[in-house]
Amino acid sequence: MRIVTAFLPLLVMGCSEPPQSAAAIRTSAGNRAADELAEAAQVLDEMATIPSARRDLCRCVAVIPSLVRAGLFVGGRHGDGVVSCRTPAGWSPPAFVSIGGGSAGLQFGLESSDVVMLIMTERAKTRLFQGDFTIGADVSAAAGPVGEAKEVATDANVRTEVLAYARSRGLFAGVELSGAVMKQDTDALVATYGEGAANVRAILAGETSTPPVASTFLTKLMAVFPKPATEPTSGG
């Protein structure tokens, strides 16, 4: 996690840039997608504190490297990342997502952290790719438990559809993301898979070939989230 306390109005207000060509936009999105995959693979290296029982039962995993929360009286947050889902053949090729949302209150400065979200139910998995959805409203969410010794199955824990974690000083801890909106990153999808193959449902069902740029991420994902002996049930 990195903290910046300088005055950064451009992060809140934005800044104007000259328009880019379609080719330039695709190239930029492709480079960004490659960076997200490489950074997400690094994030997966440090997930030992996330209970293995939760890792074994999740339907999908979303990794958002450097989710930024900026504040100047009114705060906001934004991050881009990748998501992969379990299929009968193993983990699917990654799709690209973005997460964002505002928060009110007296805030100042900039905070960035790596976030991992475990999609625990089939309903949450379906909502994710029907369109934009709000964490904590459209699907239930909670700060994920950490440490194998703390893995106690409470009713609330079992019913939670999304478990969220943030990395700080190399360790993961549960984090609240209520109010954040997740949606598909169409530019990154098209840049990576091509105009005709950027179908999120097909990608996450494992019906699309894995692009070479994603091979390192998937190798790391399979090592950290080995396929469980018993697949999650279809309910929930």
The answer to whether the predicted template modeling score (pTM) of the entire model surpasses 0.85 is: no
Strands (E), the chain: 2-4, 60-87, 90-91, 95-119, 133-134, 141-143, 162-168, 171-174, 181-184
pLDDT of the residue at 148: 61
Per DSSP bridges, beta strands 133-134 and 181-184 are antiparallel
pLDDT of the residue at 41: 93
* Neighbour count for residue 184 (Cβ, 10 Å): 18
pLDDT of the residue at 92: 94
pLDDT in tens, the chain (236 residues): 444 433 344 444 445 556 667 777 778 888 999 999 999 999 988 777 788 888 888 999 999 987 765 444 445 567 889 999 999 989 999 999 988 875 544 444 446 688 899 999 888 888 877 777 888 788 888 888 877 655 555 444 557 889 988 886 667 778 878 788 888 999 999 999 998 888 888 999 899 999 999 999 999 999 999 876 455 444 45
pLDDT of the residue at 146: 76
pLDDT of the residue at 110: 46
CA neighbor of 3 nearest in space, from 68, 65, 63: 68
pLDDT of the residue at 190: 93
d(CA 97, CA 100): 10
Reading phi first (left if > 0) and then psi (alpha if -120 to 50, else beta), residue 109 is in left
pLDDT of the residue at 180: 84
CA neighbor of 186 nearest in space, from 83, 100, 110, 98: 98
Q: Residue 66 in contact with residue 56, Cβ under 8 Å? A: no
- Quick one: DSSP state of residue 130? T
pLDDT of the residue at 19: 66
68, 144, 163, 167 from 174: Cα distances, Å: 17, 4, 8, 9
Q: Which residues pair with 142 in a beta bridge?
A: 163
Angle at 181 between CA 86 and CA 200, to 5 degrees: 40
